[in-house]
Amino acid sequence: MQVTSSVRQPLVTGGKTYHDVTHDVSRQVEGKPTMAWFLAFLTAVGVLVLGSIALIATLWEGIGMWGLNKTIGWAWDITNFVWWVGIGHAGTLISAVLLLFRQKWRTSINRAAEAMTIFAVICAAMFPVIHMGRPWLGAYWALPLPNTFGSLWVNFNSPLLWDVFAISTYFSVSLVFWYIGLIPDFATIRDRATGLRKKIYGALSFGWDGAAKTWMRYESVSLILAGLATPLVLSVHTIVSFDFATSVIPGWHTTIFPPYFVAGAIFSGFAMVLTLMIITRKVFKLEDYITMGHIELMNIVIIITGSIVGIAYITEFFIAWYSGVEAEQYAFINRATGPYWWAYWSMMTCNVISPQLFWIKKIRTSIAATFILSLVVNTGMWFERFVIIVTSLHRDFLPSSWAMFYPTWADVGVYLFTFGLFFTLFFLFAKFFPVINMAEVKSVLKSSSEKAAK
């Protein structure tokens, strides 16, 4: 029998039985959509449609629609790309890294966090593809296929190509990991349903029957996938940081980038998980599963990763001075005091100072404060990428090439489009898929529920 220390907080409150878990999660899928869901969904679709005007304009006219100029060739597009990929790190971190560390509290948040990961990576991948200008060609130019001129191949020395492999592997492995976890839960919904729903969820559940032998293999597959996904999730943002770190641009050419990007990714990912979870638990009345304990633990992860990010900012500054490289020193002084000082100090305030508030127990156990701070952190993380990308580029090597970046309506619109896409997908997921991993919650129910603690 599993024994859990009595000082641990219960993971499931409200004296839930196994059947209650099934019922509380499945009823969202089975019931008619609520008014709140419809309003939220329609808003997301509205943003998607609105944003698609900018997207279509960009595809029709080319990326000249954006505010890029000959000095600043990467701005909002790549900022948004890195920002979305970063958000897409929390899901796999929660489900894979926390599985390896045997953190049972992951069970009630991993499903939604993984869904968020997948949708965020879709949004992220759009930006480099659109940035290619002709995405219908770019999509296969990035693959190692022989071309019509003979076999001139893609350049495997380029971190941009490594990114193609990293992002697509991350996306597909996360998708498989997520789906394997969904199979037993689809079977639960299948066995409660009749008619068409039974057919649909029957097909989705792949004929799952819950046999001990299948569960044994399932556990084995989960563990190995977690073992594979853990270095994978760390590799993805490492490789994203290589896009910058392997260049010779002052401000980008930094060895600290890989760990600093990974910490930042986890930081922003957890913030987004909190934003979504606080809404989801409220709308779907899942407070007994996603408890204050869960929120507090995620806030603690935010303190840790936020502090790592803070130390990285300061280290970068120190190393720029200590290196004695004038161009590097200038790049950093320019970040803090140049024309983009406001972006730099927004980043510093949102990412370094604000998460430190979570040291106060009252703040990290307050829903309202957590929600606000999660939004602040994600704003800060967007500014971080903007600062790294734009401030390093805008003061080019020759003063005659110095420039500023001004976003156009198309920049804003395409960013909005990805928001619309992300939330449309998330709301569809929340309605039609079980938002909590029922089977995994049941497996910790006996040892870690409030009932067990008594």
Partner 1 sequence: MERDTHFILGVYEDEDVLLHAVKDVRTSGVKIHEVYSPYPVHGLEHALGYKRSRLPIAAFLFGLLGTTLALTMQLYMMKFDWPMIIGGKDFAAIPDFIPVSFELTVLLAAFGMVGVFMISSDLKPWAQPRIFDLRITDDKHVMAIDIANNSTLEVEKIKEILKSSGATEVNNKSFE
- 100 scored as a contact of partner 1 (CB under 8 A): no
Own/partner pairs, 195-204, CB within 8 angstroms, 24+ separation: 197/30
Phi/psi of residue 147, each to 5°? Answer: -105, 180
Binding mask 163-192 for partner 1 (x = CB under 8 A): --xx--x--xx--xx--x--xx--xx-xxx
Residues in binding contact with partner 1, number by CB under 8 A: 66
Burial bucket for residue 300 (CB in 10 Å: 0-12, 13-18, 19+): middle
- 12 scored as a contact of partner 1 (CB under 8 A): no
Binding mask 214-253 for partner 1 (x = CB under 8 A): xxxxxxxx--xx--xx-xx--x---x--x-----------
- 19 scored as a contact of partner 1 (CB under 8 A): yes
Q: Which of 351, 349, 319, 347 is nearest to 251 (CA)?
A: 319
- 134 scored as a contact of partner 1 (CB under 8 A): no
Q: Which of 328, 400, 393, 419 is nearest to 67 (CA)?
A: 393
First-to-last C-alpha distance (Å) of the chain: 16
Binding mask 391-430 for partner 1 (x = CB under 8 A): ----------------------------------------
- 206 scored as a contact of partner 1 (CB under 8 A): yes
Q: Which of 27, 52, 87 is nearest to 426 (CA)?
A: 87
Measured from the CB atom, is 110 or 305 closer to partner 1?
Answer: 110
Q: Which residues contact 319 (CB under 8 A, 6 or more apart)?
A: 254, 256
- 52 scored as a contact of partner 1 (CB under 8 A): no
449 DSSP β-pair partners: 12
Only one of the segments 202-210, 264-272, 328-336, 367-375 lies at the binding site for partner 1 (rule: CB under 8 A); that segment is 202-210
245's tokens: 């770190």
Min dist CB 371 to partner 1, Å, is 31
Q: Which of 4, 6, 8, 3 is nearest to 293 (CA)?
A: 8
Instruction: Kindly tell me which residue out of 8, 15, 18, 61 binds partner 1, with binding defined by CB under 8 A.
Output: 18
- Residues 44/427, Cβ–Cβ less than 8 Å: yes
- Residues 135/116, Cβ–Cβ less than 8 Å: no
- 147 scored as a contact of partner 1 (CB under 8 A): no
Instruction: Kindly tell me which residue out of 208, 289, 313, 426 binds partner 1, with binding defined by CB under 8 A.
Output: 208
40 DSSP β-pair partners: none
Q: Residues interacting with partner 1, by CB under 8 A?
A: 1-2, 17-19, 22, 144, 150-157, 159, 161-162, 165-166, 169, 172-173, 176-177, 180, 183-184, 187-188, 190-192, 203-204, 206-221, 224-225, 228-229, 231-232, 235, 239, 242, 438-440, 442-443, 446
